Structure 1
Amino acid sequence: MNQLTITKPDDWHLHLRDGAMLAGVLPHTSAHFSRAIIMPNLVPPVVTTAQAEVYRQRIMASLPKGHDFTPLMTLYLTEATDAGDVEAGFRDGLVKAVKLYPAGATTNSHAGVRDIDKVTPVLERMAEIGLPLCVHGEVTNPEIDIFDREAVFIETVLDPLRRRIPGLRVVMEHVTTRNGVDYVRAQERDMAATITVHHLMINRNAILAGGIRPHYYCLPVAKREEHRLALRAAATSGDQRFFLGTDSAPHTDPLKESACGCAGIFTAPNAVSCLAHVFEEEDALDRLEAFASLNGPAFYRLPPNEGRITLKRQDAPVAFPDKIDTGEGSVTVFDPMVPLHWSVTPDIS
């Protein structure tokens, strides 16, 4: 197969940041994606419906002319979140999900949840109205090895939470382990998971073998090869519970290449080409549309996009920039360590 036309995809986990960084990175998503779940971990975080609306307006003001893109807004869950405000944002059609960051789990998560019991009233209200909870699925206990944090989160936080509030609709974001895949597959309803492009392409050797490579460092951190293979099997299976969330997360190079570098991989420019490469390797190009374009809208109870994109396989590798320039500085683009041969042409009818 050398050409494939699919429904225009969505990104169900995206960091756009703000200000000059937002303006610099947004065009690389809006060129290929029709919608995206926007992460709320700004400084300060987006914690109220009013703040989400103002942030949405800033995103739309930064959208390049001619790009058709809809930001799907989320609220940052804190122990002071008001359930009434969450419901009002949902009823207005603005708020599409609430994001749970365990405090200290990742970038700008210091305002996150320390005691899950303190947010139970909000979660119960969300279950009543059908509003999804997006979770960063890691514990932050320093006694737990960083490579085990996802598995421990499932056992000690996520599964008890789902048993306590069975109607709560949950997306386990950027799942990275066989444990996570198996848990999602065991759930019959109200459970899904996003998988990133980079976790389909790299394991932890990319970060550590032959020297420390900060541009492959993200959270949750890439795991062993057995987990990468489990993610590939889930993504290419056609199972509706798994869909694309790139977790594209830009940081300027000085912030990545420092003594304590930031977690995050910027994949927006080549995400779709990487995805086609993975699905071709797994002999599953016929299931690419389900993962990238159909399963996510089905879980979020939205229609698929009307637009289309065409992917064409070319003999010469597609050229992507090593870096992009933003008003805040240069940002390194994800290097998949293999040549990519799939080019993307948007909006083909």
Structure 2
Amino acid sequence: MNKLIITQPDDWHLHIRNGEILKTVLPHTAKRFARAIIMPNLKPPVTTFRQALQYRNEILSVLPSESHFTPLMTLYLTGSTTIQDVKEAAECEHIYAFKLYPAGATTNSDAGVADPKTIYPIFEAMQQFDIPLLIHGEVVDQDCDIFDRERVFIERTLNDITRQFPNLRIVLEHVTTSDAVEFVKSAPNTIAATITPQHLLYNRNAMLVGGIKPHYYCLPILKRERHRQALVAAATSGNPKFFLGTDSAPHLTGSKENACGCAGCFSAHAAIELYAEAFDKVGALEKLEGFASFFGADFYRLPRNTRSVTLIKEPWLVPESYGHGEINITPLKAGEPLAWKLEVEGREY
């Protein structure tokens, strides 16, 4: 297959920052996706619906004039989140979820929640008002091996949340292990998961063999090959509990290439193309449309998109960086070939 036409996809987990970085990265997403769930971990975090609406306006103000892209806003859960915050978010047409970051788990998560049990009343309100909970599913205990943090979070925390709140819709974001795959598969239909392109394409060797490669460093961290294979099997299975969420997370190159580099892979520049490569490698391109375009919209109870995008199997070289002046962002697969190319309304990117 050298040409693939699918319903325009959505990105159900996206970081676009703000300011000049936003202006640099947003056009890449807007070319490929109709909608995206926007992460709220700015500095300061987006914790109220008013802040979310301000952020949404900033996003809309830098979109290309011809763009049809719609940002779907989320709120950051903290120990100070109130039931009134949940009610106001549920009543706001532009707020689609709350995000739970265990404090210290990843970029800009310091304001997160140290013990999720302390906000169980908030989960109860979210269940009542039917607004989804998005979870960065890792423990942050110093005595827990970083490669086990997702599994341990499921065992210690997520199992109890799902038992206590059986009607709360939950997305376990950027799953990285066979443990998470099995948990989601066996859970009720209120539980779903997103999968990133880097976790479908790479195992931890890509980050560690032949020298440390900081642009493959993300959280949750890349895992063993058997876990990557489990993710590919889940993504290509046609199971509607698994859908696309890039977790594209731009950082300035200097913030990645230093003694304490930031976690996050910037993939928005070629997001759907990277997924096509992953699905093509296992002969499952016919499964891409459901994973990328249908299952996430169905879970969020939104209409499926009506526009389409075209992917052409034609190799191209990923640029070494994006941005200009002080904004320099190194993308995933910088300087390497990609097998699939996006065509939008007759224009290739």
TM-score band, normalised by shorter chain: over 0.9
Whether the 8 Å CA contact 2:321–2:334 is kept in 1: the answer is no
Whether the 8 Å CA contact 1:49–1:86 is kept in 2: the answer is no
Aligned partner of 2:174: which letter? H
Distance across 1 between alignment mates of 2:200 and 2:121: 36
Tell me the equivalent position of 2:16. 16
From 306, 316, 319, give the equivalent of 2:317. Answer: 319
Q: 1:97-112 alignment to 2 at 5 Å?
A: 97-112=97-112
Tell me the equivalent position of 1:42. 42
Q: 1:67-216 alignment to 2 at 5 Å?
A: 67-216=67-216
- Per-residue displacement from partner, 1:190-248 (whole Å, max 9, x unpaired)? 00000000110111011111111111100000000000000000001110000000000
- Per-residue displacement from partner, 1:288-328 (whole Å, max 9, x unpaired)? 000000000000000111110011112xx123212101564
**TM-score after normalising by structure 1:** 0.97
Q: CA deviation at 1:259?
A: 0.5
Tell me the equivalent position of 1:278. 278
Q: CA RMSD in A?
A: 1.3
Between 318-327 and 143-152, the greater mean CA deviation after superposition: 318-327
Total equivalences in the alignment: 346
Aligned partner of 1:280: which letter? D
Distance across 2 between alignment mates of 1:336 and 1:325: 13
Distance across 2 between alignment mates of 1:127 and 1:347: 41
Tell me the equivalent position of 1:344. 342
Q: CA deviation at 1:51?
A: 0.3
Q: 1:284-323 alignment to 2 at 5 Å?
A: 284-314=284-314, 317-323=315-321
Distance across 1 between alignment mates of 2:117 and 2:176: 26
Distance across 1 between alignment mates of 2:340 and 2:216: 22
- Per-residue displacement from partner, 1:72-91 (whole Å, max 9, x unpaired)? 00000001002212222222
Aligned partner of 1:48: which letter? T
Distance across 2 between alignment mates of 1:270 and 1:227: 23
Distance across 2 between alignment mates of 1:121 and 1:273: 41
Q: CA deviation at 1:329?
A: 1.9
Distance across 1 between alignment mates of 2:178 and 2:140: 20
Between 121-130 and 39-48, the greater mean CA deviation after superposition: 121-130
Distance across 1 between alignment mates of 2:187 and 2:60: 37
Tell me the equivalent position of 2:61. 61
Tell me the equivalent position of 1:329. 327
Tell me the equivalent position of 2:220. 220
Whether the 8 Å CA contact 2:4–2:312 is kept in 1: the answer is yes
Q: CA deviation at 1:337?
A: 8.8
Whether the 8 Å CA contact 1:176–1:222 is kept in 2: the answer is yes
Between 293-302 and 304-313, the greater mean CA deviation after superposition: 304-313
Distance across 2 between alignment mates of 1:297 and 1:250: 24
Are the structure 2 counterparts of residues 284 and 337 from structure 1 closer, same or farther at C-alpha, using a change threshold of 3 Å? farther
Tell me the equivalent position of 2:4. 4
**TM-score after normalising by structure 2:** 0.97
Aligned partner of 1:232: which letter? V
